């Protein structure tokens, strides 16, 4: 059985006025040694593995911080014609942004906009930014940046990802309007998803419990390579003398699929 190591907090950062940088806080530091081949910090003595929040603080500068006006322009003010998906978090729009240096061709992206009345909220948004700000693997979707503003119309929380040309595995399995993929391609997708899961469990200093593995969260790039997406429900796994992580979800209406070995 497993236990949750941290709680979510909404703290403010001054990278831009009116925007809050995502941040998680630990309930306590982890004790004990890491298992297997996971790396530990070199401090002259054996120390516990770093948490996702600690690793995120080292890498947060790799994510772009967008303004709401930039993402409105990118999606033509969240035009319905550019809407490509919708889930518990909110709606997803196809958009186009300028490169970080302002030079070169526009970059096609997917912009996920939080529905404040939806099943997921600010906590899941923070988790998504934190985990995908740390995780890096060919079989995980890439987060390019985020937007967080609080205004007269309430909170605005958005995420910007690389665009996946072939939608999701669910579309190719159940949507009759989308071409059916061959069994060879299906096997390629399965293997890619498995490699992504293996990375989450063994590729970092800490294990990551995905908790939302389903066909709609397996996205496909232009070559039908699988990319796991949606880490709003993810949790850190057990480490050291902490052998239990809670898999409870605060909202009973949120349904998820958890890794079988952690059940």
CA distances in angstroms from 21 to 33, 60, 147, 156, listed in the order given: 31, 9, 9, 13
Whether residue 214 is annotated as binding a ligand: the answer is: no
CA gap 231, 216 in Å, rounded: 13
CA distances in angstroms from 217 to 34, 86, 143, 191, listed in the order given: 29, 12, 14, 15
CA gap 81, 181 in Å, rounded: 26
CA torsion 44→48→51→57, rounded to 10°?
Answer: -10
| Residue 246 confidence (pLDDT) | 62
What residues act catalytically?
212
| Residue 49 confidence (pLDDT) | 81
Q: Which two tokens stand for residue 247?
A: 């898999």
The phi, psi pair for 219, rounded to 5°, reads -90, 160
pTM, to two decimals: 0.77
In tens digits, the chain (263 residues) has pLDDT values of 444 333 334 444 444 444 555 664 443 344 334 444 444 444 444 567 889 999 999 999 999 999 999 999 999 999 999 999 988 788 999 999 999 988 889 999 999 998 877 656 888 999 999 999 999 999 999 999 999 998 777 789 999 999 999 999 999 999 999 988 999 999 999 999 999 999 999 999 899 999 999 999 999 999 999 999 999 999 999 876 666 666 555 444 444 455 554 44
CA gap 196, 149 in Å, rounded: 32
| Residue 135 confidence (pLDDT) | 97
Domains of the chain: 62-262 (1.10.510.10)
Tell me if 95 sits within 8 A of 75, measured CB to CB. Answer: yes
| Residue 1 confidence (pLDDT) | 40
Tell me if 56 sits within 8 A of 236, measured CB to CB. Answer: no
């Amino acid at each position: 059985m497993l236990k949750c190591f941290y709680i979510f907090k909404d703290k403010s950062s001054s990278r831009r006025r009116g925007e809050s940088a995502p941040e998680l806080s630990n309930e306590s530091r982890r004790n004990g040694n890491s298992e297997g081949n996971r790396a530990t910090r070199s401090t002259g003595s054996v120390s516990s593995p770093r948490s996702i929040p600690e690793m995120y603080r080292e890498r947060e500068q790799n994510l772009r911080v967008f303004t709401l006006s930039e993402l409105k322009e990118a999606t033509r003010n969240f035009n319905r014609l550019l809407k490509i998906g919708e889930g518990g978090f909110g709606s997803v729009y196809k958009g186009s942004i300028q490169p970080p240096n302002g030079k070169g061709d526009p970059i096609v992206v997917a912009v996920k906009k939080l529905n404040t009345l939806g099943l997921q909220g600010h906590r899941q948004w923070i988790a998504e930014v934190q985990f995908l700000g740390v995780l890096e693997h060919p079989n995980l979707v890439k987060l390019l940046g985020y937007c967080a503003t609080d205004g007269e119309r309430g909170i605005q929380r958005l995420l910007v990802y690389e665009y996946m040309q072939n939608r999701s595995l669910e579309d190719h399995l159940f949507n009759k309007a989308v071409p059916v993929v061959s069994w060879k391609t299906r096997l390629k997708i399965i293997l890619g998803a498995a490699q992504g899961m293996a990375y989450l469990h063994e590729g970092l200093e800490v294990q990551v419990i995905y908790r939302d593995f389903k066909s709609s969260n397996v996205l496909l790039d232009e070559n039908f390579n699988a990319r796991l997406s949606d880490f709003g429900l993810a949790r850190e796994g057990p480490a050291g003398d902490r052998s239990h992580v809670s898999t409870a979800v605060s909202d009973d209406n949120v349904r998820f699929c958890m890794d079988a070995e952690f059940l």
